[in-house]
Structure 1
């Protein structure tokens, strides 16, 4: 069996087996995640529908690190879909400043995302919310049935939703866990009658991306750019943040990464660009938004300062003249929320290939051992 064009033996020698497998398996895992949601739809609806009907409801998406970026990515789409007050606030912010973020008199649905569910902040956020909010509802979306978060989110006004077993990534970096939790949140909070059909298009596009663009992304990674910037508008800004973290994690900080929106990037952050900089631009399918994305592409090309640009798009366009274009198959008319899945796989593949290019070990990338799969050293203090 091969993963990302590497034989299992080679991946084991590179300490990269799990990361490669967990990136490539995602289309199959998404099908399992959707089947899981459909199988549990009655119980999920019984919990969620009455809550979403509450007047003045506030929804907070939370998590730590990559788990937090699930919420950051989908907030714009969920806000538009539900017409409610929806925010993404990381557990790492909620725990340190709970009284500033929680509003006691506002009915709140706290949606916690977590791979292991054992991060101290994940558990503390559940407890702080119960203590500070007069009307609190909690939904946990997690990949680990043995985790503290899953155990605590059962009982009155709480619901724990478990992802398929394969999503509990063995590798250091969250890959299957991130995308599957994001898919789940979209299913729950951006409902559409043809969700299954649209997801199938995302699955096909992702499989085609893995088969058709892995080699090109590896070739870009072999150039070992010192700086990599991820840019995206709307839902893709949060995705850009996750892409930047993946590269930082898997290269053990050797490649310095950052993120922004295409418009925000012009307001100072563009100073980072030099000939050792790679820019990965996630292009929107929204006609209005896409204009701004392509304007920045033109500007970067005209500046002639950047080392290389990788454009990730669902549409062929005469303006998409870049050093490397990853154009998805069959997604020309897709909503941006269904581009989130293949787009993040593109970023994951690049981070994996960059790590190998510099001789790092993706499954255990922290050479010092000071960065852990589940954060350590955090002491939770009594309110």
Structure 2
């Protein structure tokens, strides 16, 4: 996998990497799809015997954005494999490994990591090996030189799935790395096919080519001080979490961001709403779940100012009122597939909000209080 970041003339606003890495995502997904098709035999040889075990537990892990990648793919992998699939962050595993691995069953730990150098990345894999008698590792990473990849490259119980070099984002926030890892994991387990990759890439190109620029500018022209992302299905709730994090990161915390499910939002989190709040609802493609998304859209649009509630959807069916951002060609897609182009709308919102606040998106924390690779974590030895 050799995709390179597109060459662009320096912008002078500290956004060169972030802009290029958002725009390149459709090309990166296509390259990942082609590469995994060529590596299918090796993947099947590793995954096949594990997936044949009926009591196998698959644990998807990572920290921050990498943890949300697991949330996005969890349900799709469970449906495809017929196995128990849980998303558990590395930060939870490191802090309380016995609670995260309460049953000593055969386990496949799928580790998502952009750099693989975060202190918790390798620690989580080691703790799993201490707590469990049988654990295998699938490492999905963007950095061949990272600690995680180097640790597991030669292990017979491990398989390292390396993404294109371009997916190892040089900007502060994870963009290509997030969607690349999501696409790679779905492809690895057969939850995403070549046609799905192409449909997601085409929808994403609609967004990156400016198809929603005017709509995004209209929302930001309201100068929201708070932005809420809602998603009801497992995949879209994970997407909402990642979207809120992108806004916090790229604006250096200047904008308040929150996420919830449509139903969960009414149970207290709705308190965040005020006259300067904007809401983005990711509308599920599942007909049953979609009803709850449409209900919250109707309710919020009745109570908030016109134009402050946006629906991101693959289909216009049932959407109340105006303010819908449509992703073409994905009306029948699984929500995990829909999440790939949908997150680009959040990335662009975060990017433009960052620039509007005079922040440099490639490095929104120049004083180093928040870092691209987490620092300052001491991993303590597990007793016993």
The alignment's TM-score, normalised by the length of structure 2, stands at 0.94
What is the CA distance between 1:318 and its match in structure 2? Answer: 5.3
What is the CA distance between 1:307 and its match in structure 2? Answer: 7.0
What is the CA distance between 1:223 and its match in structure 2? Answer: 3.3
What is the CA distance between 1:361 and its match in structure 2? Answer: 0.8
Preserved contact between residue 231 and residue 240 of structure 1 (Cα < 8 Å): yes
Preserved contact between residue 76 and residue 191 of structure 2 (Cα < 8 Å): no
In structure 2, C-alpha distance between the alignment counterparts of 1:100 and 1:319, rounded to whole Å: 42
Preserved contact between residue 68 and residue 90 of structure 1 (Cα < 8 Å): yes
Provide the residue aligned with 2:195 in structure 1.
197
In structure 2, C-alpha distance between the alignment counterparts of 1:326 and 1:347, rounded to whole Å: 12
**DSSP 3-state at the match of 2:63:** coil
Provide the residue aligned with 2:217 in structure 1.
218
The C-alpha deviation readout for 1:225-284, integer Å capped at 9, x for no partner, is: 111000011110000000000000000001010000111111111111111101011011
The C-alpha deviation readout for 1:56-83, integer Å capped at 9, x for no partner, is: 1111000011001010112122222222
Q: Does 1:308 align with 2:308?
A: yes
In structure 2, C-alpha distance between the alignment counterparts of 1:306 and 1:113, rounded to whole Å: 39
Provide the residue aligned with 2:260 in structure 1.
260
Provide the residue aligned with 1:208 in structure 2.
206
> Mean alpha-carbon deviation: is it higher for 298-307 or for 361-370?
298-307
**DSSP 3-state at the match of 1:33:** helix
What is the CA distance between 1:54 and its match in structure 2? Answer: 1.3
What is the CA distance between 1:304 and its match in structure 2? Answer: 3.0
Q: Does 1:334 align with 2:333?
A: yes
Provide the residue aligned with 1:164 in structure 2.
164
The alignment's TM-score, normalised by the length of structure 1, stands at 0.94
In structure 1, C-alpha distance between the alignment counterparts of 2:305 and 2:220, rounded to whole Å: 19
Provide the residue aligned with 2:91 in structure 1.
92
In structure 2, C-alpha distance between the alignment counterparts of 1:33 and 1:106, rounded to whole Å: 31
In structure 1, C-alpha distance between the alignment counterparts of 2:338 and 2:286, rounded to whole Å: 11
In structure 2, C-alpha distance between the alignment counterparts of 1:173 and 1:379, rounded to whole Å: 23
Over the residues paired in the alignment, what is the CA RMSD in angstroms? 1.7
> Mean alpha-carbon deviation: is it higher for 295-304 or for 233-242?
295-304
**DSSP 3-state at the match of 2:212:** helix
The C-alpha deviation readout for 1:4-56, integer Å capped at 9, x for no partner, is: 9xx733x2x11000000000000001011111111111111100010111131
The C-alpha deviation readout for 1:169-212, integer Å capped at 9, x for no partner, is: 000000000001000111123436xx111211111111012221
**DSSP 3-state at the match of 1:112:** strand
Preserved contact between residue 219 and residue 307 of structure 2 (Cα < 8 Å): no
Preserved contact between residue 224 and residue 357 of structure 1 (Cα < 8 Å): no
In structure 2, C-alpha distance between the alignment counterparts of 1:57 and 1:332, rounded to whole Å: 33
Provide the residue aligned with 1:8 in structure 2.
9
Provide the residue aligned with 2:288 in structure 1.
288
Preserved contact between residue 311 and residue 320 of structure 1 (Cα < 8 Å): no
In structure 1, C-alpha distance between the alignment counterparts of 2:96 and 2:294, rounded to whole Å: 39
In structure 2, C-alpha distance between the alignment counterparts of 1:355 and 1:218, rounded to whole Å: 13
Preserved contact between residue 252 and residue 367 of structure 1 (Cα < 8 Å): no
The aligned length equals: 374
Preserved contact between residue 314 and residue 331 of structure 1 (Cα < 8 Å): yes
Preserved contact between residue 277 and residue 306 of structure 1 (Cα < 8 Å): no
